[in-house]
Structure 1
Amino acid sequence: MPVQDLGGLVVDLPHLDLVLTVAGELRQDLTFGRPDELPDLRLARVPVSADVPESAFVDPEQLDLVLAQLRRWCAARFGGWTPEMGKDRPLENIFALGHPKSLGALVAEPADAPSTTSALANAGAGVRVTMLDVRLDVDLAAASGAEVPQVAGHGRFVKGVIGGLAPGAHVSVRPVLDAGGRGNTWDVVRALAAAVREDQAQVVNLSIGCRTADGEPPFVLRRAVEVLGEQTLIVAAAGNRWADPAVAQRSQPTWPATLPGVVAVGAAAAEFSPQLPWVDYLAPGVDIVSTFLSDVATKEQPLATFHGFAKWSGTSFAAAHLTGAVAAALPSSGSARAALADLASTEGSGITRYRWQEV
């Protein structure tokens, strides 16, 4: 009988045995696999699968049902208390969250290499930056056949923006998304923990994000930020939105940008950038030129050929700009947070505090 993968439950590590025992009793129709543990974050991911006939329909919301059953069981027996748990959610690069009707400038266009740079050659010397993004060496042919999605060049573009502002910084890339810009929250937090523990990153750039149906933060991302946010500056893109303010998607929070402890970055003077209270800073994110794919056309620009550079817009690149600027300023400021405060108070830095007001 074929096995259908239903995803993963993420559980507070101290209560893993309790959850597995109860889950096994409540749902004997499902199989709970060997946990993958992250002791640094006190988390474990439990793979869940179902043995079903090929013609059988399996509810895609099975994990939600399992979580609801577990919470009811625990609350009934422990005076309303339930262990912290959630599910491993899908996550995308921020560009992929845009809607085709509102892409506009969010389509990458071929560009020439920048002729000059204002950054000093040693700007950011000794600073450690880690970015979580699309892998740089994606197999373009395997990614989509004859059509290469522009998101396949997202990681290269983000790294180019950071490196253009802080060429002396050491920028590590931890791939967490495939060439289509898709991944999951568990891989992201594993990479985030490794960025702090192994890379000793002073700044981590996340030009990626997800939205949830209930508007609540994914448990796994919340825990990671709570534990790691004091050890490194976590910078995240605020997300790209529909231009129509009547569309509910425009006001939905983007995680992890919306989490306390994360620096949420929007694009200055950009209609696609969210105008919401949880945005912290604005940085340049319109018509940015940076490194890109070479000798390819993209699905979005099938009649144009890219030769290593592109012009692109999005909050992904506003976040990358802020990350690069902080890295460049960090040696003289003493810390990433001090560098960010200095930049926000310096006229002409391109980085400003966002002040929300209802219109």
Structure 2
Amino acid sequence: MGNKLKNLGVWAGATEPETDDVLQLSLITDLAGIAEFATKIRAKYWQEISALERRGGRQFTDLDVLLYEVRNQFASELGAVPAIGKNRDTLIGYPQHKGVGDPDFGDRIDPPGNTYEVAAENPVRVGVVDTPMYWHPDFPKDRIETEPDVEAAPDRKGIYSVWAGHATFVAGRIWQAAPEAHIIVKAALSDRTGDGTSWETARKIAAFRDERIQVLNLSFGTVTADGEPPMALRRAIDVLTAANEKLVIVAAAGNLGHRARPPWQIWPAAMNGVLAVGAIGADFSMKRDWVDTEAEGLRVNGYYLDKPVRLSDASEQNFEGFARWSGTSFAAAAVTGKIAHDLACGKH
């Protein structure tokens, strides 16, 4: 692919592609001269491209035009087209409260206790891809695991973003429902903004391939301009399900249902093979036929930061370790915990 782009004069090759062996994909960056190239290709294929634009209800970007020509050349030369896609999608975690995503003060929660004996060496394993996690003092170190040296961090003034508690809230919801599970958290989203690229998120998802997880929680989502799932994200899901056909993947259905024109899909929730979870009674929860189930997601009480947090209005609050937060993120985590608990009980 790199050589093809070099020959077309749109990639100098100054930056080596970032390759993921599990995904079997490479990320090519530093494209140059793409605007001039796209102008020439539009003129060459103006009828075909115009027809595709009308059919899809959107205008091709310069990158769309480049990919169109690359696919044509591969088809002509090889009789086949390799998997090619755009890393143009930004995923974001899904909390929602008062339209700005801020949590409220919460009530102290008693740590959950096991409801039955579970062999310590064989717990149900739950994967979570989220923000870097802030470690709550109540979390058991033998039940919740994070990546080494990856944790939510404050700014230079010692103040945390509201997003710094997203993974904490999600992991806490799962732990509340399944205290006997072993929860593994990998960070792909920013603890400052709550977003991340589909490429980095896909890599963290695929990294679970050999972790023997039985449930995977994805409390984030993205909308794409063409209505198609991000290729890297789709590949990551396929990699995991190919390795374990019994794996249950749970994703937040998204908080855009209150818009005048909600999107048709939120990815990865709308993908085949993913259990999409909405929030009961929430106007922001997506209401599409791909939403599989609903769970509590309005003003949920959960584990949060016990440090100063800067809210969206620039004010600072200390939540003392607990908060009330709303969103399909937390509805998804509740379903993930329920599934993990049922698996531990032998109900699946």
TM-score range (shorter-chain normalised) is: 0.7 to 0.9
Is 1:227 paired with 2:239? yes
The residue type equivalent to 1:34 in the other structure is E
In the alignment, which residue of structure 2 is the partner of 1:176? 188
In the alignment, which residue of structure 2 is the partner of 1:14? none
In the alignment, which residue of structure 2 is the partner of 1:342? none
The residue type equivalent to 1:234 in the other structure is I
In the alignment, which residue of structure 2 is the partner of 1:108? 103
TM-score normalised over the length of structure 2: 0.76
C-alpha deviations, 1:47-104, integer Å up to 9, x for none?
33549xxxxxxxxx6544432331232345456x4322102234333337x7x9x617
Structure 1, unaligned runs of 5 or more: 1-18, 52-60, 339-359
In the alignment, which residue of structure 1 is the partner of 2:298? 286
In the alignment, which residue of structure 2 is the partner of 1:354? none
C-alpha deviations, 1:140-181, integer Å up to 9, x for none?
115xx6764312210111011011111121111101111111
Query: SS at 1:243's partner residue?
Result: coil
Is 1:325 paired with 2:307? no
Match 1:237 to one of 238, 252, 256: 252
Query: SS at 1:277's partner residue?
Result: coil
Query: Does the 8 Å CA contact 2:253/2:276 hold for their aligned counterparts?
Result: yes
Higher strand share: 1
In the alignment, which residue of structure 1 is the partner of 2:4? 22
Is 1:268 paired with 2:267? no
Query: Does the 8 Å CA contact 2:106/2:319 hold for their aligned counterparts?
Result: yes
Alpha-carbon distance change, 92 to 161 in structure 1, aligned in 2, over 3 angstroms: same
Query: Does the 8 Å CA contact 2:255/2:285 hold for their aligned counterparts?
Result: yes
The residue type equivalent to 1:202 in the other structure is Q
Query: Does the 8 Å CA contact 2:108/2:322 hold for their aligned counterparts?
Result: yes
The residue type equivalent to 2:300 in the other structure is I
Is 1:160 paired with 2:172? yes
**2-side partners of 1:314 and 1:123: how far apart?**
31
Bigger shift: residues 312-321 or 84-93: 84-93
Query: SS at 1:86's partner residue?
Result: coil
Query: Does the 8 Å CA contact 2:257/2:287 hold for their aligned counterparts?
Result: no
TM-score normalised over the length of structure 1: 0.74
Bigger shift: residues 309-318 or 250-259: 250-259
Query: SS at 1:44's partner residue?
Result: strand
Is 1:149 paired with 2:161? yes
The residue type equivalent to 1:284 in the other structure is E
**1-side partners of 2:187 and 2:119: how far apart?**
23
Structure 2, unaligned runs of 5 or more: 34-60, 134-150
RMSD: 2.8
In the alignment, which residue of structure 1 is the partner of 2:208? 195
The residue type equivalent to 1:94 in the other structure is G
In the alignment, which residue of structure 2 is the partner of 1:85? 84
C-alpha deviations, 1:229-269, integer Å up to 9, x for none?
2512111111101524xx32x13311111110111111112
Match 2:265 to one of 243, 253, 270: 253
